[in-house]
A = this chain, B = another copy of it.
């Protein structure tokens, strides 16, 4: 562990906390409860609270905080809603958590340009409620009501990504405070540009290690004229994956195509009060004009039938649609409810779609072999799936088997030319896998970029890779 990863001296932290207290009053707190809350993670990653939490109101205030911390070499950890899954908001070396919840203004809506400027604390559902009357929406839906700052920082995606892309595709421009306290604007509002290095995409997915995002210009989409959703049972995970591959290859622009294995279906039946047949299932959604969604649904139905799936229940009623998607989004909680008192791990890999059926099936067999409770769900149109493992953290042997399972899952995905994380990011949970996935050359290049932009390693240290 290099010197840059040491906890700063107590005097440095005290100096920063005291100055922040004077400057921000009640908007800076060292209360144990608030600090614990800011290190809360949704998964089995152990919490590591910061030394203090500050709630800035503007880019300039973030600048002040970063400059103060930089002067004392005290870590800065950005915080959105805390829904990240790999320990991204933890403070392994202490430091100041910058909670952006009060930077929650929708700065400007440009309906004609299909874009909006927001502060990082605005959440997805807040924006979509605000936009409804304009006939516009923000399509990315990671399942939680995450903040835009957090979604950009982790390169989030979710159920709609197969049609609308991920955060990398939907952020037009960012404003961010760098480690040196300077504010940068990464791009104009133009839909495309070839003006120099793509700083927008460099920050998207950097998990707060290169800059603190203080404003985002986001692409919007028109609310489709017609939306139809449907569910389709399959005899096996392999058949469901094959149907997904055929659907994508045939060019049907599915808006969502989500897999639930029989464990996830059963858990959802219980948790979300559904009565689905307990077998692998695809949940789908089509967007377009009325005639066009009908054509898409019909074509998918034919593909499913050919691969032994179906009947394809094509439920257009908005109420049933909402209930099904809520159940899909609650799959993590439904899995946890299988073993009350346990914690969860949401394994996240992504492979070329041709390898999806193999990868998912092998992962399932491995879970059975290791005697773990695993529910599987996936954004299968992108080759991305999650193994939701329910763990008794007090059972040392189970924890050990869980670690084995996770490592094998990642190794398997990498061996299949996939990635160690499709959308949850690296954080602390996946540190050490980038080298295995991309080799030392890429890792060294990432480190060189990090050192160039944050030479004292004050921005979210201890995440993504060791320096």
Contacts and interface: CB of A to CB of B under 8 A. Distances in A.
Interface of A: 110-115, 154-157, 161, 165-166, 168-169, 178, 182-199, 201-202, 204-206, 210, 221-222, 224-225, 245, 248-251, 289, 291-292, 295, 350-354, 382-384, 413-414, 417-426, 430, 433-434, 437-439, 441-446, 448-453, 464-465
A249 B114 contact: yes
B438 A187 contact: yes
B439 A448 contact: no
Contact of A194 (B199, B383, B418, B426): B426
A231 B46 CA distance: 62
B295 A188 contact: no
B426 A197 contact: no
Closest 4 CB pairs of A and B: A452-B452, A201-B201, A112-B354, A184-B441
A310 B356 CA distance: 48
A198 B152 CA distance: 12
B190 A422 contact: yes
A302 to B, nearest CB: 13
Nearest to A434: B196
Contacts of A354: 110, 112-113
Contacts of A250: 222
Contacts of A439: 184-185
29 contacts: A111-B249, A154-B194, A168-B198, A168-B201, A178-B445, A184-B442, A188-B417, A188-B418, A190-B351, A190-B418, A191-B353, A191-B382, A192-B419, A194-B419, A194-B424, A195-B426, A195-B433, A195-B438, A197-B202, A197-B206, A197-B449, A198-B204, A199-B442, A199-B446, A201-B202, A292-B292, A292-B295, A448-B453, A451-B452
Given A169-B169, A295-B291, A452-B449, A194 B189 contact: no
B114 A184 contact: no
Nearest to A175: B441
Given A190-B419, A419-B193, A353 B441 contact: no
Nearest to A442: B184
A182 B191 CA distance: 34
Copies in the complex: 2
Given A189-B352, A193-B350, A197-B206, 5 more contacts: A166-B192, A187-B419, A188-B414, A195-B433, A222-B250
A393 B383 CA distance: 54
B197 A198 contact: no
A417 B189 contact: yes
A204 to B, nearest CB: 7
Contact of A445 (B192, B199, B291, B419): B199
A115 B418 CA distance: 13
Nearest to A441: B184
A434 B199 CA distance: 12
A248 to B, nearest CB: 7
A420 B113 contact: no
A104 to B, nearest CB: 23
B437 A188 contact: yes
A185 to B, nearest CB: 5
Contacts of A155: 193-194, 198
A426 B196 CA distance: 7
B190 A383 contact: yes
A191 B383 contact: yes
Given A195-B434, A352-B190, A449-B452, A222 B201 contact: no
Contacts of A353: 112-114, 191
A465 B196 CA distance: 8
A417 B202 CA distance: 21
Nearest to A86: B194
A17 to B, nearest CB: 28
Contacts of A199: 442, 445-446
Contacts of A451: 452
Given A168-B201, A189-B418, A350-B193, A448 B441 contact: no
A315 to B, nearest CB: 23
A424 to B, nearest CB: 6
A181 B202 CA distance: 22
Contacts of A198: 155, 168, 198, 201-202, 204-205
Contact of A442 (B115, B185, B423, B424): B185
